[in-house]
Amino acid sequence: MIDILRHSGELLVRARRVVVFTGAGISAESGIATFRDAQDGLWMGVNPSTVASQNGFSEDPGLVWRWYMHRLADITRVEPNPGHIAIVDLFALVRRAVGHSFTLVTQNIDDLHERAGSPQVLHLHGSLARFRCNRCRSIHHLQDMDRSASLPPSCLLCGEFVRPDVVWFGETLPGQTFAEATAAARRCDLMLVVGTSGLVYPANELPFIAHASGATVIDVNPEPTEFSRVARVYLQGRAGTVLPALLEETRLLTENPQT
């Protein structure tokens, strides 16, 4: 493992434009269940692929609302883990030492990257920190939500239910954010993919775009993923262990370029 970490560190030090692309696995060690875990075990008696949709919300707005409020409570209760923190330190290290550009793209709706200290995060699937009207799309704020209500609040402008500002199945991703993420994937020379199964379109295209544009893809995951066939390096393991180890190797290389 040390050799492969050293090799990954060398690739990081040599790269000029780096993209880190994360999924639910990066937050697993904070205590947030991943999607596929949740699906296998039905999360709170709810199948995420059924409720994370406009159909699910139309059929039972109260159930979907309570499910998101429960997840919000989980997210608020937990802390960023060493994987989130290593990404912040890696950005700082390679920016200072070798002047790289760095882009962080996440599919997660939690704010654990921000709470760890990552300054700019492209949220492809929205965020649980924001809410919007399901009809007129007016924005509603987290502090105004009654988290124990059994039904979603109603929009003051049009009376329709308010929903989390996240991207459900069958919905399009925020255009500007996805355009920025795609552009970063196209021009990067290294993409570090962390904790995503790669099963959900169109976010799962990013590593393939990076690969097709000539970038090196490194996949960090305890299990092989959809990206195995394009990843030049597979760092098998948990993000909270692998990323701090990768940071350490990269630090050694920037401090002693000869070693």
Residues 25-54: x/- map of binding to ligand BJW (CB under 6 A)?
x--xx----xxx---------------x--
Contact of residue 158 among Zn ion, ligand BJW, none (CB under 5-8 Å per partner type): Zn ion
Closest CA to 81 of 135, 36, 38, 117: 117
Residue 236: CB atoms within 10 Å = 13
C-alpha to C-alpha distances, 208 to 24, 180, 186, 229, nearest whole angstrom: 19, 16, 9, 10
C-alpha Rg value of the chain to the nearest Å = 19
Quick check: is 125 catalytic?
yes
Contact of residue 249 among Zn ion, ligand BJW, none (CB under 5-8 Å per partner type): none
> Among residues 125, 140, 163, 211, which is the contact residue for ligand BJW, using CB under 6 A?
125
Number of residues that bind ligand BJW (CB under 6 A): 32
Tokens linked to 48: 């995420």
Least separation in angstroms between CB 172 and Zn ion: 19
> Among residues 30, 134, 221, 250, which is the contact residue for ligand BJW, using CB under 6 A?
221
> Among residues 1, 42, 92, 136, which is the contact residue for Zn ion, using CB under 5 A?
136
Least separation in angstroms between CB 258 and ligand BJW: 32
Least separation in angstroms between CB 173 and ligand BJW: 7
Of 143-162, binders to Zn ion (CB under 5 A) are: 155, 157-158, 160
The answer to the question of residue 139 lying near Zn ion (CB under 5 A) is: no
Give 125 or 211: the residue with its C-beta nearer to ligand BJW: 125
Give 35 or 253: the residue with its C-beta nearer to ligand BJW: 35
Q: Which entry of 84, 113, 125, 140 is annotated as an active-site residue?
A: 125
Closest CA to 172 of 128, 130, 126: 126
Contact of residue 23 among Zn ion, ligand BJW, none (CB under 5-8 Å per partner type): ligand BJW
Give 93 or 155: the residue with its C-beta nearer to Zn ion: 155
Measured distance CA(189)–CA(183) in Å, rounded: 12
Catalytic residue set: 125
Residues lying near Zn ion in the complex (CB under 5 A) are found at 133, 135-136, 155, 157-158, 160
